[in-house]
Amino acid sequence: MTDSTANSELPKTFDPAAIEAKWYAHWEANGLFRPERPDAVPYTIVNPPPNVTGSLHIGHALDNTLQDIVIRYERLRGKDALWVVGTDHAGIATQMVVERQLEASQDKRTNYTREAFIDKVWQWKAESGGTITGQLRRLGCSMDWSREQFTMDPHFTKAVVKVFVDLYGKGLIYRDKRLVNWDPKLKTAISDLEVENRDVAGHMWHFKYPLAGGESYTYIERDADGAVTFEEQRDYISIATTRPETMLGDGAVAVHPDDARYAPIVGKLCEIPVGPKAQRRLIPIITDEYPDPDFGSGAVKITGAHDG
């Protein structure tokens, strides 16, 4: 066997890394992901742009694989198949990543002018965005890279501003005072999606709200079979709450309409048990589907602009 014959032997194992990299570069360089088909039926998929805050995860891999299957199928059918690719700026989230990098090197945003800090954010975008587009190529995604987009590109930002102005002109959007998620560190409002929720162990407080005029009723608890398990005369309704400090704002006490324990006092008044008895404010006992008869006392206080 000659040297030339030996060198032409097929490898005993398949090496996808080398082969896929070679052919992907060939396909992209020759524009094969968007062949010239001006008269063909157009078919377009806009890839949901991943944020430039990190790397792609397994969900991206699955979603992009499915899109790639569809776009390749339509391309093989002769359509003018375009798969638009791009990345999303995710402004606040990106700023957080950059600030954490600065903190790791004993630095902080306030050490820079606004323009200098923005330059650092753009540097991160170039680094992270390059990682993402490299991963998409490694996945074999047949996107038209000649049309790569970024959501902070000038034509995008101009379009967003125009739409906002048009909607404002039509009275469809407006500026007003509203409760927001305020980030005390970034000193800006953030969306619900950017809030990190954390469960904290609370405490359930029980209070007696006396019935107005010293009225009383028979409070009865029953088991699943309807047999009486507890019975007593009460001149109050017991409230279970995790927020006792909002008591002064109470506007009503609510019980479930099917909760027989409190049926005798629905529609009556009770006192907010704060301050001298003669000066206590009276609030009604109402029914609502919200209270859970099996949670706490089954009665909840209703506080305007707040949960009970």
Domains of the chain: 12-177 (3.40.50.620), 205-303 (3.90.740.10)
| pLDDT, tens digit, 9 for 90 and up, residues 197-228 | 899 888 888 999 999 999 999 999 999 898 99
On the 0-12 / 13-18 / 19+ scale of CB atoms within 10 A, 10 is exposed
Q: Label residue 54 by pLDDT band (50, 70, 90).
A: confident
Query: What is the full DSSP assignment across 92-131?
Result: HHHHHHHHHHHHHTT--GGGS-HHHHHHHHHHHHHHHHHH
Check residue 10 and give its pLDDT.
79
Residue 7 corresponds to which tokens in the numbers above? Answer: 């060198």
| pLDDT, tens digit, 9 for 90 and up, residues 60-87 | 999 999 999 999 999 999 999 999 998 8
Instruction: With a cut of 90, say whether residue 40 has pLDDT above it.
Output: yes
Check residue 308 and give its pLDDT.
44
| pLDDT, tens digit, 9 for 90 and up, residues 162-195 | 999 999 999 999 888 888 999 888 788 888 887 8
214: left (phi over 0), alpha (psi -120 to 50) or beta: left
| Helix axis angle, 114-139 to 58-76, nearest 10° | 60
| Helix axis angle, 16-29 to 114-139, nearest 10° | 110
Check residue 15 and give its pLDDT.
85
Check residue 3 and give its pLDDT.
53
Report the distance separating Cα 80 and Cα 36, nearest Å.
8
Identify whether the C-beta of residue 253 lies closer than 8 Å to the C-beta of residue 302: yes
Instruction: With a cut of 60, say whether residue 88 has pLDDT above it.
Output: yes
